[in-house]
Structure 1
Amino acid sequence: MKALLILLLAGLSAVAAEKPNVLFLFADDMTWKAVNALSDEDIDTPNLDRLAERGTTFTHAYNSGGWHGAICVASRTMLNTGLQLWNAQAAEKSLKKDYAGKKRSWSQLMSAAGYRTCISGKWHVGMPADQIFDEAVNIRPGMPRDRKNAYERPVEGKPDPWSPTDTAEGGFWQGGKHWSEVIVDDFEGFLGSDDDRPWFMYLAFNAPHDPRQAPQEFLDRYPLDRIKLPKNFLPVYPHRDPMGAPQSLRDEKLAPSPRTPFAVKTHRREYYAIITHLDEQIGKILDRLEKSPDGKNTFICFTADHGLGCGEHGLLGKQNLYDHSVRVPFIVAGPGVKAGGKIDAPIYLQDIMPTTLELAGAEVPDSVEFESLNPHIKGEGTPREFAFGAYRDLQRMIEKDGKKLILYPKAKVARVFDLKSDPHEMNDLIDTPEGKKIAAELFPVLVNELKRLGDGVDLKAVYSKL
């Protein structure tokens, strides 16, 4: 009997050992373009480039929007509950009660499947991280604290009141060490545990969210004459007020309005610098993992909660539905993942939740509204036909087959883009026969999807445009 018990325990141990570790690397405010290997941006991301070479990139990964200006809250709530936008909003007020006790969040489900769960960095979800994860260290707020001198700057010809390298400004430097570097230390601590369970690590960087601070050596890599103005630069976006992105909105207030080439290039320089600094920290994590016995059996995902304008279309934030703000980098690597692969089918970044639950042999609750990517990774499955987006009751969007429709219901504005010929979304086709045809095809698909998801926005006001 004792021998049988030993054999049984050994068998269970072997099954547990086959489960892959899961390393989730999460950036904040990082557009899909900000990885050199994925776009034509002149930005240095050698470590993310090598991760893309080692694994598979989903080139059209979306965040479906937000119900207030903090898009990160919506994105992260969807990610950790598996609920799509409006159901996630409805659940937000009772998250602490519903999830802390009922074990329904991503990490809790991984824990139930036998995983040791760890988090470091930004959380910003309405349930306590230390009740959701086994180990929670250096849990950060929504953004590093900034100061008034970080806004409506710089003005050409005047001294810049803000320095992204001055540690006295606090922000990412608060505590004495850059927050991105602290996550590397925390990863080392998690990896050094003698716990023999497979692990799930949720490493959530605040970078490259503003205040975009990085050491001087990273700023020095991007002299202002290296920075190109976005092709879709505008001094002022014509619909910014009715779409909910006025100059008074915190993100938009970072630079003066109207936008100037000098101000936009300065902000992009700081954005690139903190991303390259972030990339270096990710490189340290990947290097350490490769030297670890766990390295060969770890599934890695790198993505971000949403993108960012940073001067494109005259916008600085993420409260819009252009590709620079709704699309994110999304790279997976690990056992069974094709090296150098690219998949163009539309996905939502939150699809990573059921994907990893499946890999862990965990329960995927019926309430989860996102889809596992494992069939696509294996070259199987039926891809989504489209992706939708929403911001408050002020904006709606659908992308399908390289065509895009954006609606601003209160402004009675519709915009149409052919992304294959116009990837920077500069040529609005709504007043052309081609554009009206595209809009007429996409509008009912969007309406049906919004109805399915319980979205009560009234789109009748813009129907005449279509």
Structure 2
Amino acid sequence: MLKHLFAIAILGSLTTVHAKSDKPNILFIFADDMSYETIGAYGLLDIDTPHLDKMVEAGTTFTHAYNMGAYNGAVCVASRAMLNTGRFVWNTYAHDTGPKMKKEVQDRRMWSQLMNKAGYRTYMTGKWHVKAKPEDIFDVAVHERPGMPNQTPEGYNRPVDEEDYKNGWKPWETKYEGFWKGGKHWSEVVADDSIDFLNDAKTHDEPFFMYLAFNAAHDPRQAPKEYVDRYPLDRVKLPENFVPKYKYQDEIGCGEELRDARLAPFPRTEYSVKVNRQEYFALITHMDDQIGRILKALEETGQADNTYIVFTADHGLAIGHHGLIGKQNMYDHSVRVPFMVVGPNVKKGEKNNAPIYLQDIMPTALDLAGAPIPDDVEFKSLLPMLNGKKKHYDSIYGAYKGQQRMICKDDWKFIHYPTANANRLYNMNADPFEQNDLAMNPEYAAKVKELKTDLLELSADLSDPLDYNNPAESWKKATPSKKQKTTH
């Protein structure tokens, strides 16, 4: 039986009524470089995110949502390719080339195309960073953004000290462009576009699927001055696991050759990390206000009651944790993301601690749409978990190029650095900030052996191209000979 939603425009005595589909709308809001800890309601950081906090109150939070990894320095490329194809990381790697991705589009099997087949009008704005043209796979696509806003030399190796900050780059100065390129902050443009989409959607009978992708909180971390001023440095706390230099930074690809790592000076200082975190928090709070505008428009257009809203990010970010700045590592601050679901029959104020992958939202949306989930979609619908099932995954896998591998299982995280021949072991329940490495403790030798075995088996199951006995050579063979230019 069809439900009916009414879009009513009253001009004098004129009333227009539109019959709507009984299928729910899907509003997907996607952030960039946003760690799981950066939601104020989680109580982990002193950060202002009132609108995202309301989503936590209004729906179910998956507290342990992970990105599976990346095959290049631009972690977002792999994350977004997995999201839009539904394949696990190494099967995505096999398809993440121009010709093969083009066939994905021709076969109409990208996420938005599958939603379109299910009867949805599809919209997209913001960061895309997938090797396919959004105008080929969405009904409406505007303001497609590149992997990151344009960079300037002044935005790197900063700030060295207070004098350097005083005389140098400021996040609110529009002359450096970046998020300000085009005259209006890109987060505000995403919100403007989203409101236009919602006003358009209320005039159509089809349900909508909106893919709203912020570039925030990616660097350059630029926000209006009033947002930066909300975070004086005495409000910004240093991470508990701060160190000036990560022990294995060079062996695992996180040293001075990595673009992200060069944003702050080496070795890391308390001052530079605090300033980088100040600007990170300011950009997130500014984005949160734009999300508030979107959610208000959803209510005002009368479409909220039949809409599922999902908020997550493509991966996290270190910003000073463990002496790291970027996302190219296996620590929770970089592999875990916020993940909230709000909508009809979703439990309010609920926390689900079972591990998931952020890309599980793709088959979840298809499930909500009553659409078939293709056989080659490897991620799993979260509907059973929203309805009470305990968990989908016994363990979580993570990878970065040929240099890092990870398995999370029960209370344990095991990290292996193949090219450094080094391990790290953490009890995540007792040591959530991953400060006490137990890998070399003889008492845990059996646990290291057990998890290394589990990691090898999981790698084989996931078609990992890495030969753990010959990591450098096997990764070289697995990497395309012609390097693809990507931005982080």
Output one character per residue of 1:38-86: Cα deviation in whole Å (capped at 9) or x when no partner. 2421111111111010000000000011001000000000000001001
2:35 is aligned with 1:22: no
Does 2:106 correspond to 1:101?
A: yes
Equivalent residue for 2:82, pick from 67, 72, 78: 78
3-state SS in 2 of match to 1:210: coil
Q: Which moved more, 1:178-187 or 1:34-43?
A: 34-43
Aligned residue-pair number: 452
Is residue 2:361 matched to residue 1:356? no
Q: CA–CA distance in 2 between the matches of 1:25 and 1:158?
A: 38
| DSSP-derived class of the 1:225 partner | coil
2:332 to 289, 308, 323: 323
Is the 1:16–1:198 contact (alpha carbons within 8 Å) kept by the matching residues of 2? yes
- Contact kept? 2:158, 2:164, Cα under 8 Å: no
Q: Is the Cα contact below 8 Å between 1:95 and 1:126 reproduced in 2?
A: no
Distance 1:112 1:118 in 2: 14
Residue aligning to 1:142: 147
5+ residue gaps, structure 1: 1-6
Which of 39, 44, 57 is equivalent to 1:40?
Answer: 44
* 1:417 and 1:435 in contact (8 A); partners too: no
Distance 2:117 2:73 in 1: 34
Q: In the alignment, which residue of structure 2 is the partner of 1:179?
A: 186
**1:393 aligned residue:** 402
Q: Does 1:457 find its partner at 2:466?
A: yes
User: What do the CA deviations read for 1:90-115 (whole angstroms, capped 9, x no partner)?
Assistant: 10113442122110000000000000
Out of 158, 165, 178, the position equivalent to 2:163 is: 158
Task: Tell me, yes or no, if structure 1 residue 432 matches structure 2 residue 436.
Answer: no
> So what's the TM-score if we normalise by structure 1?
0.94
Q: What letter matches 1:75 in structure 2?
A: S
SS at match of 1:342: strand
Stretches of structure 2 lacking an aligned partner (at least 5 in a row)? 5-17, 472-488
The Cα of 1:317 is off from its aligned counterpart by 0.2
Give the 5 Å matches for 1:253-332: 253-332=262-341
Cα distance in 2, alignment partners of residues 42 and 252 from structure 1: 24
Cα contact 2:198–2:297 (8 A) shared by 1: no
Query: Which residue is equivalent to 1:189?
Result: 196
Over 3 Å counting, the alpha-carbon distance change for 1:461 and 1:429 in structure 2 is farther
Question: CA offset at residue 431 of structure 1?
Answer: 1.4
Shift of residue 442, structure 1, vs aligned partner: 1.4
TM-score under structure 2 normalisation? 0.90
Following TM superposition, by how much is the alpha carbon of 1:383 offset from its aligned partner in structure 2, in angstroms? 2.9
- For residues 100 and 165 of structure 1, what CA distance do their matches in structure 2 show? 39
Give the Å deviation of 1:246: 1.2
Match of 1:408 in 2: 417
Aligned match for 2:96, one of 76, 92, 101: 92
Measure how far apart 1:15 and its partner are.
Answer: 11
How far residue 445 of structure 1 moved from its aligned partner, in angstroms, is 1.6
1:423 is matched with which residue: 407, 420, 432? Answer: 432
- 1:125-169 CA distance string (max 9 Å, x none): 001000011100000000000200000010114332211010111
Question: Matches of 1:292 and 1:15 in 2, distance apart?
Answer: 14
The Cα offsets for residues 396-443 of structure 1, whole Å up to 9 and x where unpaired, read as 000111200000001000000011111110110011134323212212
Q: Is the 8 A contact 2:126 2:142 kept in 1?
A: yes
- SS of 2:151's partner is coil
Partner of 1:4: none
C-alpha contact (below 8 Å) 1:116/1:199 kept by paired residues: yes
Superposition deviation, residue 382 in structure 1: 4.2
Which amino acid letter does the alignment assign opposite residue 183 of structure 2? G
Alignment root-mean-square deviation, CA: 1.7
User: Does the aligned pair in 1 maintain the 2:95–2:101 contact within 8 Å?
Assistant: no
Conserved 8 A contact 2:380-2:392: no
Q: 1:206 to 1:157 in 2, by over 3 A?
A: closer
Matched, 1:169 2:148: no
Partner AA of 1:134 in structure 2? D
Partner in structure 2 of residue 3 of structure 1 = none
Q: SS at the partner of 1:288?
A: helix
Q: 1:461 offset after TM fit, Å?
A: 7.4
Preserved contact between residue 354 and residue 391 of structure 2 (Cα < 8 Å) = no
C-alpha distance in structure 2 between counterparts of 1:55 and 1:110, whole Å: 23
Question: Which of 350, 363, 367 is the aligned partner of 2:376?
Answer: 367
Which portions of structure 1, spanning 4 or more consecutive aligned residues, are displaced by more than 3 angstroms?
A: none
Cα deviation for residue 458 of structure 1 reads 2.5
For 1:230 and 1:29, the matched residues in 2 are separated by: 17
SS in 1 for 2:425: strand
Q: Aligned-pair distance for 1:204?
A: 0.1
Residues 427, 365 of structure 1: alpha-carbon distance in 2 compared, 3 angstrom cutoff: same
**What amino acid does structure 2 have at the position aligned with 1:145?**
N
2:254 is matched with which residue: 220, 245, 253? 245
